[in-house]
Chain A
Amino acid sequence: MSVKKFVVGNFDDEAVLFPAVKKVRRAGYKIHDVFTPFPIHGLDKAMGLKDTSLHVAGFIYGIAGTTTALSFITWALTIDWQVNFGGKPYFSLPAWIPITFELTVLFASVGMVLTFCWLCQLAPFIKKDHFNPRSTDDLFVMAVECTDKTNEQEALAFLNSVGAKDVSVQYRETGWWLGRYDQETVRYGKKVEAV
Protein backbone atom coordinates (compact mmCIF):
# COMPACT_ATOMS: atom_id res chain seq x y z
CA MET A 1 0.00 0.00 0.00
CA SER A 2 1.73 3.04 -1.13
CA VAL A 3 1.33 6.12 -3.22
CA LYS A 4 2.88 5.80 -6.65
CA LYS A 5 3.39 8.01 -9.59
CA PHE A 6 1.48 7.29 -12.79
CA VAL A 7 1.29 8.57 -16.29
CA VAL A 8 -2.40 8.43 -17.23
CA GLY A 9 -3.87 8.52 -20.72
CA ASN A 10 -7.57 8.86 -21.50
CA PHE A 11 -8.94 7.22 -24.64
CA ASP A 12 -12.40 7.67 -26.07
CA ASP A 13 -12.35 4.85 -28.61
CA GLU A 14 -12.07 1.12 -28.03
CA ALA A 15 -10.55 0.64 -31.46
CA VAL A 16 -7.71 3.04 -30.59
CA LEU A 17 -7.24 1.56 -27.13
CA PHE A 18 -6.40 -1.96 -28.31
CA PRO A 19 -3.40 -1.11 -30.51
CA ALA A 20 -2.33 1.49 -27.92
CA VAL A 21 -2.17 -1.16 -25.19
CA LYS A 22 -0.05 -3.33 -27.44
CA LYS A 23 2.27 -0.50 -28.42
CA VAL A 24 2.72 0.70 -24.82
CA ARG A 25 3.62 -2.80 -23.70
CA ARG A 26 5.98 -3.30 -26.62
CA ALA A 27 7.72 -0.02 -25.78
CA GLY A 28 8.51 -1.51 -22.37
CA TYR A 29 6.22 0.57 -20.18
CA LYS A 30 4.55 -1.12 -17.22
CA ILE A 31 0.76 -0.86 -17.49
CA HIS A 32 -0.71 -0.61 -14.00
CA ASP A 33 -4.28 -1.15 -15.19
CA VAL A 34 -6.80 -0.11 -17.82
CA PHE A 35 -10.19 1.10 -16.59
CA THR A 36 -13.16 0.75 -18.94
CA PRO A 37 -16.87 1.52 -18.63
CA PHE A 38 -17.78 -2.00 -19.79
CA PRO A 39 -16.00 -5.36 -20.09
CA ILE A 40 -13.96 -5.58 -23.29
CA HIS A 41 -13.38 -9.02 -24.77
CA GLY A 42 -9.73 -9.78 -25.31
CA LEU A 43 -8.35 -6.79 -23.40
CA ASP A 44 -6.98 -9.13 -20.71
CA LYS A 45 -5.06 -10.98 -23.43
CA ALA A 46 -3.74 -7.73 -24.89
CA MET A 47 -2.61 -6.56 -21.46
CA GLY A 48 -0.91 -9.89 -20.80
CA LEU A 49 -2.89 -10.62 -17.63
CA LYS A 50 -2.71 -14.20 -16.45
CA ASP A 51 -5.85 -16.36 -16.13
CA THR A 52 -7.85 -16.01 -12.98
CA SER A 53 -7.67 -18.75 -10.36
CA LEU A 54 -11.34 -18.24 -9.52
CA HIS A 55 -12.49 -21.41 -11.29
CA VAL A 56 -9.99 -23.57 -9.38
CA ALA A 57 -11.35 -22.09 -6.17
CA GLY A 58 -14.88 -22.85 -7.41
CA PHE A 59 -13.97 -26.49 -8.04
CA ILE A 60 -12.54 -26.84 -4.54
CA TYR A 61 -15.63 -25.25 -2.96
CA GLY A 62 -17.84 -27.59 -5.00
CA ILE A 63 -15.96 -30.67 -3.84
CA ALA A 64 -16.15 -29.35 -0.28
CA GLY A 65 -19.93 -29.04 -0.64
CA THR A 66 -20.26 -32.59 -2.00
CA THR A 67 -18.18 -33.98 0.83
CA THR A 68 -20.05 -32.01 3.49
CA ALA A 69 -23.46 -33.13 2.26
CA LEU A 70 -22.61 -36.79 1.78
CA SER A 71 -20.69 -37.20 5.01
CA PHE A 72 -23.26 -35.37 7.11
CA ILE A 73 -26.28 -37.21 5.68
CA THR A 74 -24.49 -40.52 5.95
CA TRP A 75 -23.62 -39.90 9.58
CA ALA A 76 -27.07 -38.57 10.48
CA LEU A 77 -29.16 -41.23 8.76
CA THR A 78 -27.06 -44.35 9.25
CA ILE A 79 -25.40 -43.78 12.65
CA ASP A 80 -26.96 -40.99 14.62
CA TRP A 81 -30.68 -41.20 13.91
CA GLN A 82 -31.79 -44.15 11.83
CA VAL A 83 -35.24 -43.73 10.32
CA ASN A 84 -37.04 -46.25 8.17
CA PHE A 85 -38.40 -44.46 5.09
CA GLY A 86 -40.77 -46.79 3.25
CA GLY A 87 -38.62 -49.85 3.85
CA LYS A 88 -35.60 -48.38 2.11
CA PRO A 89 -32.17 -49.24 3.50
CA TYR A 90 -30.65 -46.69 5.88
CA PHE A 91 -27.90 -46.04 3.38
CA SER A 92 -29.97 -45.04 0.33
CA LEU A 93 -27.73 -42.99 -1.87
CA PRO A 94 -30.24 -42.02 -4.63
CA ALA A 95 -32.37 -40.10 -2.13
CA TRP A 96 -29.38 -38.04 -1.06
CA ILE A 97 -28.19 -37.01 -4.49
CA PRO A 98 -30.49 -33.94 -4.77
CA ILE A 99 -29.26 -32.52 -1.44
CA THR A 100 -25.67 -33.32 -2.39
CA PHE A 101 -26.14 -31.54 -5.70
CA GLU A 102 -27.70 -28.51 -4.01
CA LEU A 103 -24.99 -28.20 -1.39
CA THR A 104 -22.34 -28.52 -4.10
CA VAL A 105 -23.92 -25.64 -6.02
CA LEU A 106 -24.44 -23.57 -2.87
CA PHE A 107 -20.87 -23.94 -1.66
CA ALA A 108 -19.43 -23.30 -5.11
CA SER A 109 -21.57 -20.24 -5.84
CA VAL A 110 -21.37 -18.51 -2.46
CA GLY A 111 -17.68 -19.34 -2.17
CA MET A 112 -16.96 -18.00 -5.64
CA VAL A 113 -18.86 -14.75 -5.02
CA LEU A 114 -16.92 -14.14 -1.81
CA THR A 115 -13.62 -15.07 -3.45
CA PHE A 116 -14.42 -12.73 -6.33
CA CYS A 117 -15.06 -9.87 -3.89
CA TRP A 118 -11.85 -10.69 -2.09
CA LEU A 119 -9.79 -10.81 -5.30
CA CYS A 120 -11.28 -7.52 -6.52
CA GLN A 121 -11.16 -5.95 -3.04
CA LEU A 122 -14.87 -5.20 -3.11
CA ALA A 123 -16.76 -4.65 0.13
CA PRO A 124 -18.79 -1.95 1.85
CA PHE A 125 -16.62 0.94 3.08
CA ILE A 126 -13.60 -0.19 1.09
CA LYS A 127 -12.39 2.91 -0.66
CA LYS A 128 -9.95 3.18 -3.54
CA ASP A 129 -8.35 5.92 -5.52
CA HIS A 130 -9.60 6.76 -9.03
CA PHE A 131 -7.59 7.99 -11.91
CA ASN A 132 -10.56 9.48 -13.67
CA PRO A 133 -14.22 9.14 -12.63
CA ARG A 134 -15.25 9.19 -16.27
CA SER A 135 -13.86 5.64 -16.60
CA THR A 136 -17.27 4.54 -15.30
CA ASP A 137 -19.02 6.57 -17.96
CA ASP A 138 -17.45 7.10 -21.37
CA LEU A 139 -13.65 7.05 -21.16
CA PHE A 140 -11.08 4.29 -21.32
CA VAL A 141 -8.33 5.16 -18.85
CA MET A 142 -4.88 3.65 -19.09
CA ALA A 143 -2.54 4.08 -16.13
CA VAL A 144 1.17 3.53 -16.75
CA GLU A 145 3.28 3.13 -13.66
CA CYS A 146 6.41 5.31 -13.40
CA THR A 147 9.44 3.37 -12.22
CA ASP A 148 12.89 4.79 -11.50
CA LYS A 149 13.85 4.51 -15.14
CA THR A 150 10.73 6.08 -16.61
CA ASN A 151 11.15 9.47 -18.20
CA GLU A 152 7.72 10.97 -17.65
CA GLN A 153 7.95 13.55 -20.45
CA GLU A 154 8.76 10.79 -22.92
CA ALA A 155 5.96 8.62 -21.52
CA LEU A 156 3.45 11.48 -21.85
CA ALA A 157 4.52 12.11 -25.40
CA PHE A 158 4.33 8.42 -26.19
CA LEU A 159 0.79 8.09 -24.84
CA ASN A 160 -0.19 11.09 -26.92
CA SER A 161 1.35 9.53 -29.99
CA VAL A 162 -0.62 6.29 -29.62
CA GLY A 163 -3.92 8.15 -29.57
CA ALA A 164 -4.70 9.31 -26.03
CA LYS A 165 -7.10 12.27 -25.98
CA ASP A 166 -5.40 13.84 -22.97
CA VAL A 167 -2.61 12.78 -20.66
CA SER A 168 -1.55 13.65 -17.13
CA VAL A 169 0.86 12.69 -14.39
CA GLN A 170 -0.87 11.65 -11.18
CA TYR A 171 0.12 10.44 -7.72
CA ARG A 172 -2.32 7.75 -6.62
CA GLU A 173 -2.77 5.34 -3.73
CA THR A 174 -2.68 1.76 -5.11
CA GLY A 175 -4.16 0.00 -2.11
CA TRP A 176 -7.49 0.41 -0.35
CA TRP A 177 -8.56 2.00 2.90
CA LEU A 178 -11.73 2.26 4.93
CA GLY A 179 -13.80 5.26 4.11
CA ARG A 180 -16.81 6.53 2.22
CA TYR A 181 -17.00 7.89 -1.30
CA ASP A 182 -19.29 10.72 -0.27
CA GLN A 183 -16.72 11.98 2.21
CA GLU A 184 -13.23 13.08 1.34
CA THR A 185 -10.65 11.04 3.25
CA VAL A 186 -6.98 11.12 2.33
CA ARG A 187 -5.56 8.30 4.34
CA TYR A 188 -2.01 8.17 3.12
CA GLY A 189 0.50 11.01 3.34
CA LYS A 190 1.31 12.60 0.01
CA LYS A 191 -0.99 15.05 -1.60
CA VAL A 192 -2.73 14.09 -4.81
CA GLU A 193 -1.68 16.47 -7.50
CA ALA A 194 -2.78 16.63 -11.07
CA VAL A 195 -0.43 17.99 -13.68
Chain B
Amino acid sequence: MSNRDQFVAPKRYNTIAIALMAIGILSLVTLYITHGSKDNPHDQARFWGSLLQNSVYFLLIVNAAMFFICALTLAWGGWQMAFRRVTEAISACVPVLGVICGAILLSIAFGSNHEIYHWTDAEHVKHDPTLLHKAGFLNKGFFAIVTVLTIVLWSVLGWKMRSLSRSLDNNPIPTVEGRKKYMFNNTVWAAIYIVVFALTVMSSIPWLWLMSIDAHWYSTMYSWYTFASTFVAGIALITLFVVFLKNNGYLQYTNKEHLHDLGKFMFAFSIFWTYLWFSQFMLIWYANIPEETVYFKTRAQGEYSGVYWLMFIINFVAPILILMSRDSKRNYTTITFMSLLIVFGHWLDFFQMVFPSPLTDAETGKTYVPMILYDFGIGLGFVGLIMFVTGKALAKAPLLARNHPLVKESLIHHT
Protein backbone atom coordinates (compact mmCIF):
# COMPACT_ATOMS: atom_id res chain seq x y z
CA MET B 1 0.00 0.00 0.00
CA SER B 2 1.18 3.44 -0.87
CA ASN B 3 1.16 6.39 1.46
CA ARG B 4 -2.12 7.41 -0.24
CA ASP B 5 -3.64 4.98 2.21
CA GLN B 6 -2.89 7.31 5.12
CA PHE B 7 -4.70 10.63 5.32
CA VAL B 8 -2.61 13.67 6.17
CA ALA B 9 -4.70 16.80 6.56
CA PRO B 10 -3.53 19.45 4.09
CA LYS B 11 -2.55 22.73 5.74
CA ARG B 12 -5.37 24.60 4.01
CA TYR B 13 -7.89 22.11 5.36
CA ASN B 14 -6.99 22.85 8.97
CA THR B 15 -6.78 26.57 8.27
CA ILE B 16 -10.29 26.57 6.81
CA ALA B 17 -11.61 24.49 9.71
CA ILE B 18 -10.12 26.89 12.27
CA ALA B 19 -11.33 29.93 10.31
CA LEU B 20 -14.87 28.50 10.26
CA MET B 21 -14.72 27.85 13.99
CA ALA B 22 -13.54 31.45 14.49
CA ILE B 23 -16.55 32.69 12.48
CA GLY B 24 -18.75 30.53 14.69
CA ILE B 25 -17.32 31.92 17.91
CA LEU B 26 -17.54 35.48 16.55
CA SER B 27 -21.22 34.99 15.66
CA LEU B 28 -21.84 33.45 19.05
CA VAL B 29 -20.25 36.36 20.89
CA THR B 30 -22.08 38.92 18.75
CA LEU B 31 -25.38 37.16 19.29
CA TYR B 32 -24.71 37.00 23.02
CA ILE B 33 -24.05 40.73 23.17
CA THR B 34 -27.07 41.69 21.07
CA HIS B 35 -29.55 39.16 22.49
CA GLY B 36 -28.23 36.67 25.05
CA SER B 37 -27.16 39.22 27.62
CA LYS B 38 -30.45 41.15 27.53
CA ASP B 39 -33.06 40.94 30.30
CA ASN B 40 -35.96 40.37 27.94
CA PRO B 41 -36.68 36.60 27.95
CA HIS B 42 -37.57 36.65 24.23
CA ASP B 43 -34.16 38.05 23.36
CA GLN B 44 -32.50 35.40 25.49
CA ALA B 45 -34.62 32.74 23.82
CA ARG B 46 -33.37 33.91 20.44
CA PHE B 47 -29.78 33.34 21.61
CA TRP B 48 -30.42 29.90 23.14
CA GLY B 49 -32.65 28.87 20.26
CA SER B 50 -29.81 29.42 17.83
CA LEU B 51 -27.48 27.24 19.92
CA LEU B 52 -30.18 24.59 20.28
CA GLN B 53 -30.92 24.45 16.56
CA ASN B 54 -27.29 24.19 15.48
CA SER B 55 -26.01 21.84 18.16
CA VAL B 56 -28.90 19.39 17.86
CA TYR B 57 -28.83 19.43 14.07
CA PHE B 58 -25.10 18.84 13.72
CA LEU B 59 -25.04 16.25 16.51
CA LEU B 60 -27.83 14.29 14.83
CA ILE B 61 -26.20 14.36 11.39
CA VAL B 62 -22.81 13.15 12.61
CA ASN B 63 -24.64 10.48 14.58
CA ALA B 64 -26.45 9.45 11.39
CA ALA B 65 -23.02 8.34 10.07
CA MET B 66 -22.85 5.60 12.72
CA PHE B 67 -26.44 4.65 11.95
CA PHE B 68 -25.43 4.32 8.29
CA ILE B 69 -22.60 1.93 9.22
CA CYS B 70 -24.77 -0.18 11.52
CA ALA B 71 -27.76 -0.35 9.19
CA LEU B 72 -25.51 -1.46 6.33
CA THR B 73 -23.73 -3.95 8.59
CA LEU B 74 -27.05 -5.56 9.53
CA ALA B 75 -28.13 -5.67 5.88
CA TRP B 76 -24.72 -7.11 4.87
CA GLY B 77 -24.19 -4.12 2.62
CA GLY B 78 -20.52 -4.78 1.99
CA TRP B 79 -20.18 -1.95 -0.53
CA GLN B 80 -19.62 0.57 2.26
CA MET B 81 -16.21 -0.92 3.12
CA ALA B 82 -14.29 1.08 0.49
CA PHE B 83 -15.02 4.34 2.29
CA ARG B 84 -16.06 3.04 5.69
CA ARG B 85 -13.17 4.76 7.49
CA VAL B 86 -14.60 8.10 6.33
CA THR B 87 -18.00 7.32 7.85
CA GLU B 88 -16.29 6.14 11.02
CA ALA B 89 -14.28 9.34 11.23
CA ILE B 90 -17.43 11.43 10.93
CA SER B 91 -19.08 9.43 13.68
CA ALA B 92 -16.06 10.16 15.88
CA CYS B 93 -17.48 13.69 16.19
CA VAL B 94 -20.38 12.37 18.29
CA PRO B 95 -18.65 12.58 21.70
CA VAL B 96 -17.35 16.11 21.02
CA LEU B 97 -20.60 17.51 19.65
CA GLY B 98 -22.52 15.46 22.23
CA VAL B 99 -20.80 17.23 25.13
CA ILE B 100 -21.52 20.63 23.56
CA CYS B 101 -25.12 19.77 22.73
CA GLY B 102 -25.75 18.17 26.13
CA ALA B 103 -24.36 21.22 27.92
CA ILE B 104 -26.60 23.53 25.87
CA LEU B 105 -29.72 21.39 26.39
CA LEU B 106 -29.16 21.11 30.13
CA SER B 107 -28.50 24.82 30.51
CA ILE B 108 -31.73 25.60 28.66
CA ALA B 109 -33.71 23.11 30.73
CA PHE B 110 -32.25 24.17 34.09
CA GLY B 111 -31.78 27.85 33.27
CA SER B 112 -34.08 30.66 34.30
CA ASN B 113 -35.41 31.22 30.78
CA HIS B 114 -38.63 29.33 30.08
CA GLU B 115 -39.42 30.72 26.64
CA ILE B 116 -37.96 27.74 24.79
CA TYR B 117 -39.15 24.93 27.06
CA HIS B 118 -42.36 26.23 28.62
CA TRP B 119 -42.70 23.06 30.62
CA THR B 120 -39.65 23.95 32.74
CA ASP B 121 -41.60 26.79 34.36
CA ALA B 122 -43.05 25.12 37.48
CA GLU B 123 -45.34 28.08 38.26
CA HIS B 124 -46.78 28.04 34.76
CA VAL B 125 -47.30 24.27 34.62
CA LYS B 126 -49.48 24.40 37.76
CA HIS B 127 -52.12 26.38 35.88
CA ASP B 128 -51.76 24.59 32.58
CA PRO B 129 -53.81 21.37 32.42
CA THR B 130 -52.14 20.20 29.19
CA LEU B 131 -48.61 20.54 30.51
CA LEU B 132 -49.65 19.14 33.87
CA HIS B 133 -50.94 16.11 32.06
CA LYS B 134 -47.65 15.72 30.21
CA ALA B 135 -45.50 16.31 33.30
CA GLY B 136 -44.67 12.60 33.60
CA PHE B 137 -42.66 12.89 30.40
CA LEU B 138 -41.80 16.58 30.24
CA ASN B 139 -39.96 17.19 33.48
CA LYS B 140 -36.43 18.31 34.15
CA GLY B 141 -35.22 15.12 35.82
CA PHE B 142 -36.38 12.81 33.06
CA PHE B 143 -35.08 15.20 30.42
CA ALA B 144 -31.63 15.35 32.01
CA ILE B 145 -31.33 11.60 32.56
CA VAL B 146 -32.47 10.68 29.04
CA THR B 147 -30.29 13.33 27.42
CA VAL B 148 -27.13 12.28 29.23
CA LEU B 149 -27.83 8.57 28.82
CA THR B 150 -28.51 8.96 25.11
CA ILE B 151 -25.36 10.89 24.36
CA VAL B 152 -23.23 8.51 26.43
CA LEU B 153 -24.75 5.45 24.72
CA TRP B 154 -24.24 6.89 21.24
CA SER B 155 -20.62 7.70 22.06
CA VAL B 156 -19.79 4.38 23.71
CA LEU B 157 -21.49 2.16 21.11
CA GLY B 158 -20.00 4.22 18.28
CA TRP B 159 -16.56 3.83 19.88
CA LYS B 160 -17.13 0.06 20.13
CA MET B 161 -18.03 -0.22 16.44
CA ARG B 162 -14.98 1.83 15.44
CA SER B 163 -12.61 -0.18 17.61
CA LEU B 164 -14.00 -3.46 16.23
CA SER B 165 -13.16 -2.17 12.76
CA ARG B 166 -9.65 -1.01 13.73
CA SER B 167 -8.81 -4.18 15.65
CA LEU B 168 -8.29 -5.95 12.30
CA ASP B 169 -5.84 -3.45 10.83
CA ASN B 170 -2.64 -5.15 11.98
CA ASN B 171 -3.87 -8.67 12.68
CA PRO B 172 -5.82 -10.24 9.84
CA ILE B 173 -8.03 -13.21 10.73
CA PRO B 174 -6.50 -16.33 9.19
CA THR B 175 -9.43 -18.77 9.35
CA VAL B 176 -12.92 -18.74 7.90
CA GLU B 177 -14.33 -19.63 11.33
CA GLY B 178 -12.55 -16.63 12.81
CA ARG B 179 -14.03 -14.35 10.17
CA LYS B 180 -17.52 -15.73 10.76
CA LYS B 181 -17.10 -15.09 14.48
CA TYR B 182 -15.90 -11.56 13.78
CA MET B 183 -18.88 -10.85 11.51
CA PHE B 184 -21.26 -12.22 14.13
CA ASN B 185 -19.72 -10.04 16.80
CA ASN B 186 -19.88 -7.04 14.49
CA THR B 187 -23.53 -7.74 13.67
CA VAL B 188 -24.53 -8.04 17.32
CA TRP B 189 -22.94 -4.72 18.26
CA ALA B 190 -24.49 -3.05 15.22
CA ALA B 191 -27.89 -4.45 16.24
CA ILE B 192 -27.48 -3.08 19.76
CA TYR B 193 -26.68 0.33 18.31
CA ILE B 194 -29.74 0.19 16.04
CA VAL B 195 -31.99 -0.65 19.00
CA VAL B 196 -30.59 2.30 20.96
CA PHE B 197 -30.99 4.47 17.86
CA ALA B 198 -34.60 3.38 17.45
CA LEU B 199 -35.39 4.22 21.05
CA THR B 200 -33.69 7.61 20.83
CA VAL B 201 -33.52 9.39 17.45
CA MET B 202 -36.45 7.50 15.98
CA SER B 203 -38.78 8.02 18.94
CA SER B 204 -38.08 9.82 22.19
CA ILE B 205 -35.22 12.23 21.58
CA PRO B 206 -36.81 14.57 18.99
CA TRP B 207 -39.92 14.72 21.15
CA LEU B 208 -37.86 15.81 24.14
CA TRP B 209 -35.34 18.07 22.47
CA LEU B 210 -37.36 19.70 19.72
CA MET B 211 -41.08 18.95 19.87
CA SER B 212 -41.29 20.04 23.51
CA ILE B 213 -40.54 23.58 22.29
CA ASP B 214 -44.17 23.58 21.14
CA ALA B 215 -45.17 21.83 24.34
CA HIS B 216 -48.92 21.99 23.77
CA TRP B 217 -48.72 20.59 20.29
CA TYR B 218 -47.79 17.06 19.38
CA SER B 219 -47.29 14.85 16.38
CA THR B 220 -46.42 11.17 16.64
CA MET B 221 -44.69 11.43 13.27
CA TYR B 222 -42.29 14.10 14.49
CA SER B 223 -39.43 11.79 15.40
CA TRP B 224 -39.46 9.93 12.11
CA TYR B 225 -39.56 13.26 10.38
CA THR B 226 -36.51 14.45 12.31
CA PHE B 227 -34.74 11.15 11.67
CA ALA B 228 -35.38 11.37 7.93
CA SER B 229 -34.14 14.94 7.90
CA THR B 230 -30.91 14.17 9.72
CA PHE B 231 -30.26 10.89 7.92
CA VAL B 232 -30.42 12.40 4.46
CA ALA B 233 -28.22 15.28 5.60
CA GLY B 234 -25.85 12.75 7.21
CA ILE B 235 -25.49 10.90 3.90
CA ALA B 236 -24.85 14.21 2.16
CA LEU B 237 -22.09 14.88 4.73
CA ILE B 238 -20.51 11.44 4.13
CA THR B 239 -20.63 12.09 0.37
CA LEU B 240 -18.95 15.47 0.79
CA PHE B 241 -16.05 13.92 2.72
CA VAL B 242 -15.74 11.07 0.21
CA VAL B 243 -15.59 13.53 -2.70
CA PHE B 244 -13.08 15.69 -0.81
CA LEU B 245 -10.76 12.76 -0.17
CA LYS B 246 -11.20 11.52 -3.73
CA ASN B 247 -10.23 14.95 -5.06
CA ASN B 248 -7.08 14.84 -2.95
CA GLY B 249 -6.02 11.52 -4.40
CA TYR B 250 -7.08 9.24 -1.54
CA LEU B 251 -9.61 6.39 -1.59
CA GLN B 252 -8.37 4.88 -4.84
CA TYR B 253 -10.86 2.00 -4.49
CA THR B 254 -13.90 4.21 -4.10
CA ASN B 255 -15.31 4.97 -7.52
CA LYS B 256 -18.41 6.09 -9.32
CA GLU B 257 -20.24 2.92 -8.33
CA HIS B 258 -20.02 3.86 -4.66
CA LEU B 259 -20.88 7.46 -5.46
CA HIS B 260 -23.91 6.24 -7.38
CA ASP B 261 -25.16 4.29 -4.37
CA LEU B 262 -24.65 7.25 -2.04
CA GLY B 263 -26.59 9.34 -4.57
CA LYS B 264 -29.39 6.77 -4.54
CA PHE B 265 -29.55 6.99 -0.76
CA MET B 266 -29.71 10.78 -0.95
CA PHE B 267 -32.44 10.64 -3.57
CA ALA B 268 -34.49 7.98 -1.81
CA PHE B 269 -34.33 9.58 1.63
CA SER B 270 -35.18 13.00 0.23
CA ILE B 271 -38.40 11.45 -1.06
CA PHE B 272 -38.86 9.67 2.27
CA TRP B 273 -38.47 12.96 4.12
CA THR B 274 -41.08 14.55 1.83
CA TYR B 275 -43.43 11.66 2.47
CA LEU B 276 -43.23 12.26 6.21
CA TRP B 277 -43.35 16.04 5.80
CA PHE B 278 -46.53 15.74 3.78
CA SER B 279 -48.14 13.06 5.95
CA GLN B 280 -47.62 15.15 9.07
CA PHE B 281 -49.10 18.16 7.33
CA MET B 282 -52.02 16.46 5.60
CA LEU B 283 -53.47 14.73 8.64
CA ILE B 284 -53.46 17.98 10.57
CA TRP B 285 -54.83 19.91 7.60
CA TYR B 286 -57.62 17.38 7.11
CA ALA B 287 -58.72 17.19 10.74
CA ASN B 288 -58.48 20.97 11.08
CA ILE B 289 -58.34 20.98 14.88
CA PRO B 290 -57.16 24.38 16.17
CA GLU B 291 -54.64 23.06 18.72
CA GLU B 292 -52.94 21.09 15.97
CA THR B 293 -53.14 23.58 13.10
CA VAL B 294 -51.50 26.26 15.22
CA TYR B 295 -48.13 24.65 14.43
CA PHE B 296 -48.52 25.16 10.69
CA LYS B 297 -50.21 28.56 10.96
CA THR B 298 -46.94 30.42 11.53
CA ARG B 299 -44.93 28.10 9.33
CA ALA B 300 -46.87 27.37 6.15
CA GLN B 301 -48.85 30.61 6.04
CA GLY B 302 -47.38 33.02 8.54
CA GLU B 303 -44.06 34.77 9.02
CA TYR B 304 -42.02 31.64 8.37
CA SER B 305 -43.66 30.74 5.06
CA GLY B 306 -40.65 31.98 3.09
CA VAL B 307 -38.23 29.71 4.97
CA TYR B 308 -40.79 26.91 4.97
CA TRP B 309 -41.37 26.81 1.22
CA LEU B 310 -37.73 27.51 0.36
CA MET B 311 -36.82 24.49 2.47
CA PHE B 312 -39.45 22.43 0.65
CA ILE B 313 -37.98 23.37 -2.72
CA ILE B 314 -34.42 22.60 -1.63
CA ASN B 315 -35.27 19.35 0.11
CA PHE B 316 -37.79 17.89 -2.30
CA VAL B 317 -38.10 19.61 -5.67
CA ALA B 318 -34.34 19.95 -6.25
CA PRO B 319 -33.37 16.36 -5.30
CA ILE B 320 -36.23 14.70 -7.20
CA LEU B 321 -35.52 16.64 -10.38
CA ILE B 322 -31.73 16.73 -10.26
CA LEU B 323 -30.85 13.39 -8.67
CA MET B 324 -33.34 11.30 -10.63
CA SER B 325 -31.10 10.46 -13.55
CA ARG B 326 -28.27 7.95 -13.34
CA ASP B 327 -25.75 10.31 -14.91
CA SER B 328 -26.22 13.04 -12.32
CA LYS B 329 -25.71 10.53 -9.47
CA ARG B 330 -22.41 9.50 -11.04
CA ASN B 331 -21.19 13.06 -11.60
CA TYR B 332 -18.89 14.42 -8.89
CA THR B 333 -19.86 18.05 -9.47
CA THR B 334 -23.61 17.49 -9.38
CA ILE B 335 -23.43 15.26 -6.35
CA THR B 336 -21.23 17.74 -4.45
CA PHE B 337 -23.59 20.58 -5.26
CA MET B 338 -26.63 18.53 -4.19
CA SER B 339 -24.92 17.44 -0.96
CA LEU B 340 -24.19 21.04 0.00
CA LEU B 341 -27.75 22.01 -0.89
CA ILE B 342 -29.25 19.17 1.16
CA VAL B 343 -27.13 19.89 4.25
CA PHE B 344 -28.20 23.54 4.03
CA GLY B 345 -31.85 22.64 3.29
CA HIS B 346 -32.25 20.45 6.34
CA TRP B 347 -30.49 23.05 8.45
CA LEU B 348 -33.26 25.44 7.32
CA ASP B 349 -35.76 22.75 8.25
CA PHE B 350 -34.40 22.75 11.82
CA PHE B 351 -34.46 26.54 11.81
CA GLN B 352 -38.20 26.59 11.19
CA MET B 353 -38.75 23.76 13.64
CA VAL B 354 -37.07 25.61 16.51
CA PHE B 355 -37.73 29.32 16.20
CA PRO B 356 -41.42 30.15 15.67
CA SER B 357 -42.57 29.18 19.16
CA PRO B 358 -39.92 30.82 21.41
CA LEU B 359 -40.16 34.09 19.46
CA THR B 360 -43.95 34.29 19.72
CA ASP B 361 -45.30 37.08 21.86
CA ALA B 362 -47.76 35.42 24.25
CA GLU B 363 -50.10 38.41 24.32
CA THR B 364 -50.38 39.36 20.64
CA GLY B 365 -49.56 35.95 19.20
CA LYS B 366 -47.17 37.64 16.76
CA THR B 367 -43.86 36.10 15.87
CA TYR B 368 -40.95 37.14 13.67
CA VAL B 369 -38.11 35.59 11.68
CA PRO B 370 -34.79 36.34 13.38
CA MET B 371 -31.72 37.53 11.52
CA ILE B 372 -30.66 34.20 10.02
CA LEU B 373 -27.03 35.25 9.39
CA TYR B 374 -26.15 34.82 13.09
CA ASP B 375 -27.47 31.28 13.02
CA PHE B 376 -25.69 30.62 9.78
CA GLY B 377 -22.44 31.88 11.33
CA ILE B 378 -22.83 29.60 14.34
CA GLY B 379 -23.68 26.77 11.94
CA LEU B 380 -20.42 27.43 10.07
CA GLY B 381 -18.63 27.16 13.42
CA PHE B 382 -20.07 23.68 13.89
CA VAL B 383 -19.10 22.78 10.32
CA GLY B 384 -15.54 23.86 11.13
CA LEU B 385 -15.58 21.76 14.29
CA ILE B 386 -16.83 18.71 12.37
CA MET B 387 -14.12 19.24 9.73
CA PHE B 388 -11.44 19.55 12.41
CA VAL B 389 -12.46 16.50 14.46
CA THR B 390 -13.12 14.35 11.39
CA GLY B 391 -9.74 15.33 9.93
CA LYS B 392 -8.01 14.28 13.15
CA ALA B 393 -9.94 11.00 13.27
CA LEU B 394 -9.19 10.25 9.60
CA ALA B 395 -5.48 10.69 10.17
CA LYS B 396 -5.46 8.12 12.98
CA ALA B 397 -6.14 5.00 10.90
CA PRO B 398 -5.50 3.73 7.36
CA LEU B 399 -8.21 4.78 4.92
CA LEU B 400 -9.00 1.23 3.89
CA ALA B 401 -10.07 -1.38 6.43
CA ARG B 402 -8.17 -3.91 4.34
CA ASN B 403 -8.59 -6.98 6.55
CA HIS B 404 -12.35 -6.76 6.89
CA PRO B 405 -14.00 -9.90 5.46
CA LEU B 406 -16.32 -7.91 3.19
CA VAL B 407 -13.71 -5.59 1.71
CA LYS B 408 -13.40 -7.45 -1.58
CA GLU B 409 -17.12 -7.17 -2.15
CA SER B 410 -16.73 -3.43 -1.98
CA LEU B 411 -13.72 -3.25 -4.30
CA ILE B 412 -15.53 -5.08 -7.10
CA HIS B 413 -18.81 -3.30 -6.35
CA HIS B 414 -20.93 -2.71 -9.39
CA THR B 415 -24.33 -1.08 -9.63
Contact = CB atoms under 8 A, between A and B. Distances in A.
A94 B282 contact: yes
A59 interface: yes
Interface of B: 278, 281-282, 285-286, 288, 324-326, 414
B414 A41 contact: yes
Given A42-B414, A59-B324, 6 more contacts: A55-B326, A86-B288, A94-B278, A95-B286, A97-B278, A97-B282
Interface residues of A, number: 11
Contacts of B281: 94
A122 B282 CA distance: 42
A42 B285 CA distance: 49
18 contacts: A41-B414, A42-B414, A51-B326, A55-B325, A55-B326, A59-B324, A86-B286, A86-B288, A94-B278, A94-B281, A94-B282, A94-B285, A94-B286, A95-B282, A95-B286, A97-B278, A97-B282, A98-B282
B342 to A, nearest CB: 22
* Pairs of residues from A and B, 10 with the lowest C-beta to C-beta distance, nearest first: A41-B414, A94-B282, A94-B285, A42-B414, A97-B278, A95-B286, A86-B288, A94-B281, A97-B282, A59-B324
A87 B288 CA distance: 10
Contacts of A98: 282
Nearest to B279: A98
A156 B281 CA distance: 67
A interface majority secondary structure: helix
Nearest to A86: B288
A123 B285 CA distance: 46
A97 B278 CA distance: 9
A86 B326 CA distance: 44
B157 to A, nearest CB: 34
A98 B326 CA distance: 27
A41 to B, nearest CB: 4
Interface in A48-96: 51, 55, 59, 86-87, 94-95
Nearest to B288: A86
A70 to B, nearest CB: 15
